[in-house]
């Protein structure tokens, strides 16, 4: 089976790696840099990601992927080296005590002696949180931390060469003009997935783009570990010399090439930090990082078929795929190979220069 994967971010490269190492009969081609003809200086979600990794998520499906991914990461020195995994611990603050307890129990069965439920008093004294709702609880994880998705992606790209994967020229459109025939094409181009599909006349299938932004602040005082505060939206992690901090944006349907950092949002982050973490001192203006990522009506990074064509997407990471992509890509690879043994082909080709196309 000939499989073409469009997109060389962390999702596309890890999906290609999962296919290459478990299904050696596949003829795999990775088409990188799917930015619809826009300059490479545009920041991708993989390059911008803060890389938070933990086992707990409030959503059960996301939690299953996150737990499986963390378990595999902790068991593999190679994966930890590729991803530059840094263990800092983590705390996830929410008000749904039953969800927290059930999730902690599930996680403890996979990652032993790592998870602890903490109450509001411990959130205050141990982590410095203030002003939380009365019923707030925390899921604390000793073995959680963060990765560098960009470094992980680069390491996997190197490994793909050893596994015999062909890395082709970048794709900028899907259209007619056969050069390489594929039985299956998977578009894993992050925020560019929907534009590539739409330009070729395929439905976007519930995919949208949304801006993501955080700041890296010089900081001192009481620095928390990696955290998510569901009660305010604030999230963060330690960074060299300070803290990475962010809030969700309302920047829906932003073109990937048009994203610009929002100084007003950075001010909101500073205000939220002062309220929730008053012991954390932000000692200067942040370095702002902004990008777009793909979101889906049914959240989560997973393989989705596009109509009746042998075209699939592997997108919808919603700005937080670093913690789930390892397990999600393994699941997607298995689903693809089990479900597809067909002679129907899809072509990826070129007309002039390096303007690669497919239909």
Fold for domain 1-51+148-206+298-359?
FAD/NAD(P)-binding domain (3.50.50)
Taking CA atoms, 328 is separated from 20, 29, 183, in Å, by: 15, 20, 22
Q: What residue spans define the domains of the chain?
A: 1-51+148-206+298-359
What is the pLDDT, as a whole number, of residue 33? 62
* pTM of structure: 0.90
Sign of CA dihedral 1, 26, 294, 91: positive
* Strands 226-229 and 166-167, bridge-based pairing: unpaired
- Three-state SS string across the chain, please? CEEEEECCCHHHHHHHHHHHHHCCCCEEEEECCCCCCCCCCCCCHHHHCCCEECCCCCCHHHHHHHHHHHHHHHHCHHHHHHHCCEECCEEEEECCHHHHHHHHHHHHHHCCCCEEEECHHHHHHHHCCCCCCCCCEEEEECCCEECCHHHHHHHHHHHHHHCCCEECCCECCCCCCCCEEECEEEECCHHHHHHHHHHCCCCCCCEEEEEEEEEEEEEEECCCCEEEECCCCCEEEEECCEEEEECCCCCECCCHHHCCCCHHHHHHHHHHHHHHCCCEEECCCCEEEEEEEEEECCCCCEEEECCCCCEEEEECCCCCHHHCHHHHHHHHHHHHHHHCCCCCCEEEEECCCCCEEEC
Q: Rounded distance, CA 357 to CA 359, Å? A: 7
Per the document, the length of the chain is 359
What is the pLDDT, as a whole number, of residue 341? 57
What is the pLDDT, as a whole number, of residue 338? 84
What is the pLDDT, as a whole number, of residue 345? 52
Residues of the chain with pLDDT under 70: 33-48, 171-181, 340-359
Q: Rounded distance, CA 312 to CA 333, Å? A: 12
């Amino acid at each position: 089976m000939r499989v073409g994967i469009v997109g060389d971010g962390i999702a596309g490269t890890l999906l290609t790696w999962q296919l290459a190492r478990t299904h050696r009969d596949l003829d795999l081609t990775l088409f990188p840099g799917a930015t619809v003809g826009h300059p490479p200086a545009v920041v991708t979600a993989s390059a911008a990601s803060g890389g938070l990794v933990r086992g707990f998520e409030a959503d059960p499906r996301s939690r299953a992927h996150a737990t499986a991914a963390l378990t595999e990461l902790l068991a593999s020195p190679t994966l930890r080296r590729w991803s530059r995994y840094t263990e800092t611990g983590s705390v996830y603050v929410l008000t749904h005590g039953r969800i927290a307890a059930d999730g902690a129990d599930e996680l403890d069965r996979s990652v032993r002696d790592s998870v602890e439920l903490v109450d509001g008093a411990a959130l205050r004294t141990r982590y410095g949180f203030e002003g939380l709702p009365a019923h707030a609880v925390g899921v604390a994880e000793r073995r959680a931390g963060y990765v560098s998705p960009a470094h992980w992606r680069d390491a996997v790209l190197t490994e793909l060469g050893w596994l015999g994967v062909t890395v082709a020229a970048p794709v900028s459109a899907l259209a007619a003009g056969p050069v390489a025939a594929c039985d299956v094409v998977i578009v894993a181009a992050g925020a560019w997935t929907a534009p590539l599909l739409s330009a070729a006349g395929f439905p976007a299938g519930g995919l949208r783009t949304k801006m993501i932004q955080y700041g890296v602040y010089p900081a001192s005082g009481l620095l928390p570990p990696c955290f998510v505060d569901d009660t305010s939206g604030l999230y963060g992690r330690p960074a060299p010399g300070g803290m990475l901090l962010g809030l969700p944006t309302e920047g829906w349907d932003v073109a990937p090439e048009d994203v610009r950092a929002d100084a007003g949002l950075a001010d909101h982050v500073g205000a939220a930090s002062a309220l929730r973490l008053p012991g954390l001192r932000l000692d200067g203006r942040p370095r702002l990082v902004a990008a777009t990522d793909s979101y889906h009506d049914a959240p989560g990074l997973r393989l989705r078929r596009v109509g009746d064509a042998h075209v699939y997407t592997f997108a919808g990471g919603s700005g937080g795929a670093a913690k789930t992509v390892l397990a999600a890509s393994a699941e997607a690879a298995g689903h693809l190979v089990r479900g597809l043994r067909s002679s129907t082909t899809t072509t990826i080709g070129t007309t002039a220069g390096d303007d690669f196309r497919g239909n």
